[in-house]
Structure 1
Amino acid sequence: MTDKLVTVDGKTLYTEYTSAFEGRPVLVFLHDSLGSAQLWRDFPERLSQAAECNVLLYDRLGYGKSYPMEDHYRTNDYMELEADLLNSLLEKLGISDAILFGHSDGGTIALIAAAKYPERIKAVICEAGHIFVENITVQGVQDALQAYRTSDLPVRLRKYHGDKVDMLVRAWTEIWLSERFRSWTIEYLLQDITCPLLFIQGEADEYGTLDQVEKTVTQVSGTAEKYIIPDTGHSPHKEVPERVISRAAEFIQRISGNT
C-alpha cells in the first residue's frame, strides 16, 4: 500500500493505493460523513482479495489526513462537488476502470459520480446511500450531534481527524439539519447511471428507509441489484462484514468478467 498526499483542483487529499492485481479494476472506497480511510479498517483489503481488485482509499478534504476545509459552510450541492473532485483525483492518478464502494454520504457521491462520469466509473456498490432527505435521516443526524455533545465521541474521532473534528461535524450536521436542505434530491440524476449497480442496505438502518433503495434501483438506466440485510443497521460492512464481502465480491467478479 502506497500512501501519499495528492493535490487536485487546489485541494490536498491523503490517498492510499495498491495495485496487486494487474489488469484488474480499482476498487475506490468513499467514506461516510464522519469517516476516513483508516476507519474502513481491514474491510478494503479483505474485499480486494476476495474480488481480485486493486484499491484506492482517500480522505475527503477536511477528513483524516487530508488538509482542512476552508470553512464549515456547505452548499446544497456539496456531494456533487465531491463527485467532481473524485473524478479529478481519478484522472490525476490515471484510473479509468473504477468500481466505487461508497458508504452513506460516500454512497451518494458514488451515484453522482457514476451519473456524471460514466467513462471512468465501471460499477457502483452503494451502501446506505441517500438520494433524498427523510425524517429518519434528520433524526439520525440530530442523535449523532447530541452524542457528539454529551459523550466521548469527540475524543474517539480526534484519533482519526485530529483538530479538524469540530469543523467536519459542524459542516455535516448544519447542512443536514437546515431547512434549505429538506428539498435536496439527486433523483433527477439517476437516469444517467448506466453502469451496473449494487445497493446494499441494512433493514434496520437508522439513517434511511428502504425507499432509498427502491427509488434508486428502479430509476437507473443500467442493471441494478439490491441486497437488503435483516437485523442490520447503517454500517453493514462493519456489522456483518462477511456477508457484505461475499455479496460484493460475487457482484464484482460477475460484472468484471471474472467468474
Structure 2
Amino acid sequence: MNSRAPLNTAPPGMAEGLPVRFADVSWDSMRHDIEYVLVAPQRTRQPLLVFLHEGLGSVTMWKDFPYALCEAAGCRGLVLSRWGYGQSSPRPGHEKWPVDFMHRQARDFLPAFFEAIGHDTRADPPWLYGHSDGGSIALLHAAACPGRVGGLIVAAPHLFVEPVTLASIQQARDGYVTTDLRSKLARYHADPDSAFWGWNDVWLNPEFKHWNIQALLSAIRCPVLAVQGHDDEYGSMAQIDGIAQEVPQAELLKLDDCGHSPHRDQPARLIEASVAFMRRHRT
C-alpha cells in the first residue's frame, strides 16, 4: 500500500521515466514512508533484484547503476531508501540505532517492506544486491529467511569490525563537522543528519566493536557472489574470505583499482560478473 502517490519525475541520476513511490510500512511499533523505485516492472517472468544501499546511501545515490545492471541482466529491479535515508521517513533526532540494527533491518524491516508492497517472497524469491551495510543486511536476511531469497550479490559487506573501518568512519565524522560533506549529502537525503548520525554513531559506539555476523552465515542456502576491492578504505579481503569459509557455494570477485564502492569504481567489470553469475544460477 502506498501512503503517498508516485512522483512523476525520476530522482536525479536515475534513468528517466522511473516514478518514485512510497510504501507505508508498519515496523518497530511505528509507521514509515519508505521511498522506492521500480525498474522494468513489466518483466514479470524475470527475477526481481532488490538493491540495498550502504550506510550513507539512498535511492538517488546509486545513480544509474541499478538501471544498467537490470538492463544487462534482463531482470526487474527495486531500489529503496531504508528508514532514515533518502526521502524515506527520517530517524527521530533523539533516537540512536541499536547495535543490532542490521539484524533488525534484515529480519523485521525487509519482510514488513515486502508485505507492504504486496510482494510474495515465497512465490517469487527476490535476488538481493547489497552494498556495505546493505550487503550485511542482505546476508542476514538470506540466513534468516532461507527459501525466500533467490540469490545474493554483496559488495564490500561487513562481517565484523576492523580497525581500518573505524578509522575511516571517524574520518568521515570529522569531515561532516568541518567540511561541506553535510551539504553534499543533502542532495540525496531529505534529512542528512538522520542519515549521517544514525550510521556514524552506531559504528563508533564502543559496544559495536564486538559486532560479528560470520557464524550466522552457514544458514544461507542460495547462491552468493561476494565482491571486494583491493583498495577498500572500509574493510579488507578478510570480509569476503569469511563468507567463503561459512558459505561453500559462495563465489568471490576481488577487484583491482577498486575502493569501497565497486559500482562506482569498476561498474563494467561488476556488471559483467553479476550478469554471468545470475545467468548461471537463476531459474
TM-score range, shorter chain: over 0.9
Given the alignment, which residue of 225, 229, 235 partners 1:208? 235
1:54-133 matches, cutoff 5 A? 54-70=76-92, 71-83=94-106, 84-93=108-117, 94-96=119-121, 97-133=125-161
User: 1:89 offset after TM fit, Å?
Assistant: 1.3
Distance 2:61 2:127 in 1: 19
2:249 is equivalent to residue 228 of structure 1? no
In the alignment, is the contact (CA less than 8 A) between 2:147 and 2:221 conserved in 1?
A: no
- Corresponding residue of 2:245: 218
- Corresponding residue of 2:276: 250
Given the alignment, which residue of 40, 48, 57 partners 1:26? 48
Q: How many residues align?
A: 255
User: 1:2 offset after TM fit, Å?
Assistant: 3.9
Distance 1:203 1:243 in 2: 14
Taking structure 1 as the reference length, what is the TM-score of the superposition? 0.95
Distance 1:145 1:242 in 2: 31
2:203 is equivalent to residue 176 of structure 1? yes
- Corresponding residue of 2:12: none
Distance 1:195 1:61 in 2: 26
User: 1:250 offset after TM fit, Å?
Assistant: 0.7
In the alignment, is the contact (CA less than 8 A) between 1:72 and 1:168 conserved in 2?
A: no
Distance 1:230 1:72 in 2: 39
- Corresponding residue of 1:5: 22
- Corresponding residue of 1:37: 59
User: 1:76 offset after TM fit, Å?
Assistant: 1.2
Distance 2:135 2:230 in 1: 17
Given the alignment, which residue of 239, 243, 250 partners 2:265? 239
User: 1:168 offset after TM fit, Å?
Assistant: 2.1
User: 1:95 offset after TM fit, Å?
Assistant: 4.3
Distance 2:227 2:244 in 1: 11
User: 1:173 offset after TM fit, Å?
Assistant: 1.2
For structure 2, list consecutive stretches of 5 or more residues without a partner in the other structure.
1-17
For structure 1, list consecutive stretches of 5 or more residues without a partner in the other structure.
none
User: 1:229 offset after TM fit, Å?
Assistant: 0.2
- Corresponding residue of 1:15: 36
Q: Please report the RMSD computed on the Cα atoms of aligned residues, expressed in angstroms.
A: 1.3
The percent of aligned pairs where both chains have the same amino acid is 37
In the alignment, is the contact (CA less than 8 A) between 2:85 and 2:194 conserved in 1?
A: no
Taking structure 2 as the reference length, what is the TM-score of the superposition? 0.87
User: 1:124 offset after TM fit, Å?
Assistant: 0.6
User: 1:251 offset after TM fit, Å?
Assistant: 0.6
Tell me the amino acid that sits aligned with residue 117 of structure 1.
C
In the alignment, is the contact (CA less than 8 A) between 1:26 and 1:95 conserved in 2?
A: no
2:179 is equivalent to residue 156 of structure 1? no
Q: Deviations over 1:87-108 (max 9, x none)?
A: 2212333142211001000000
* SS of equivalent to 1:108: helix
Q: Deviations over 1:38-60 (max 9, x none)?
A: 11111001100111110101111
Distance 1:237 1:200 in 2: 10
In the alignment, is the contact (CA less than 8 A) between 1:128 and 1:208 conserved in 2?
A: yes
Q: Deviations over 1:53-101 (max 9, x none)?
A: 1010111111111011134411111001111211221233314221100
Tell me the amino acid that sits aligned with residue 228 of structure 2.
Q
Q: Deviations over 1:200-241 (max 9, x none)?
A: 1101100001110111121025x1100000121000100111
User: 1:165 offset after TM fit, Å?
Assistant: 1.0
